[in-house]
Amino acid sequence: MKTVVKAARRPKRKIAVPTDFFPSSASAMAYALALAKSDKSRVVAVYAVDPFEYSFGPSDLRYIKKQEVWARAHEAMSQWLKANKFSCATSLIEGEAGPAIAQFIDQQGIDLTVLGTSARSHAARLLLGSVAEEIFRKASGNVLVLAPRMRSNRHQLKRLLFATDLETHSLAALSHLSKLARKFDSTISVIRAVHPDIRSRPERSRIGRETKLKIHTASDSNLRKRIKQIQVKFGHPVKVIAAAAKASKADAIVMGIRSGGEWDRAATHIPWALAHRVIAEARCPVLTIRG
């Protein structure tokens, strides 16, 4: 008698799309739903209800106000989904957007978060910060950020450009990148930007050898097979990364980032932070992996 062994079902990947019901969120949801078709991932729209409106006054008044605020939030979510013809799960959570959504991502085991962002100008960012950056510096999962300058219509992650400075947090992201590349069957190009004042040919050669050695040492066997090229370019990091993404026709730029730790909110107000500048200028999505 033959024994039939059923293959274990692979758990569905979970994709979260934080929304504020503005056009950037709609773009993020459209991207996530298209990406989810490849393996029928579960997509959930997440909205954080700020409790500020019902945090003051007598308890009975706070209760009434809370009911009103949450009713409006549910209606706004329903109308947003209907207007854009989105079909997905929804989750309304309580708290300030950045911390609450980051906590949701970690607690729910979200595999990928897709974020739309306005990529504010430097002056506005000093005052307001960036909710998107606060999320990807707090959350432990992978966060894909879509910026306003994005021109790519490819909703896939087949060709990835890993931008690195060889710092510890950047190299630590390679293990996560390996898992992601396996899921999406991706090929990887690696780019390192180095200050252009280094003119010595022997020194430039040494930097090239060092880069290849450190990348290969920090990569597992799966990732090493998927890496097609490792390049070092001497120039401004944002320009070098943007040019490399264009040349390799990357579906996304991948960056290992630091957690801001106790200073994560302050970090989102720094307009010259590299991650913010790359996202603001990128013509394709930027995938951040916290190292």
Q: Give 182-233 as a DSSP string.
A: HHHT-EEEEEEEE-TT---HHHHHHHHHHHHHHHHHHS-HHHHHHEEEEEEE
List the domains of the chain with CATH numbers: 12-116 (3.40.50.620), 154-291 (3.40.50.620)
Q: pLDDT per residue over 42-98, tens digit each?
A: 999 999 999 999 999 999 999 999 999 999 999 999 999 999 999 999 999 999 999
Q: What pLDDT is stored for residue 39 in this prediction?
A: 73
Q: pLDDT per residue over 261-275, tens digit each?
A: 544 544 444 444 788
Say yes or no to pLDDT of 114 above 90: yes
Half-sphere exposure of 288 (CA within 13 A, CB side): 25
Q: pLDDT per residue over 20-50, tens digit each?
A: 998 889 999 999 999 998 778 899 999 999 9
Q: What is the pTM of this model?
A: 0.85
E strand or H helix at 193: strand 187-194
Sign of CA dihedral 16, 19, 24, 29: positive
How much of the chain, in percent, has pLDDT values that exceed 70?
Answer: 86
Question: Biggest alpha carbon distance in the chain?
Answer: 74
Sign of CA dihedral 147, 26, 177, 158: negative
Instruction: Tell me the β-bridge partners of 257.
Output: 290
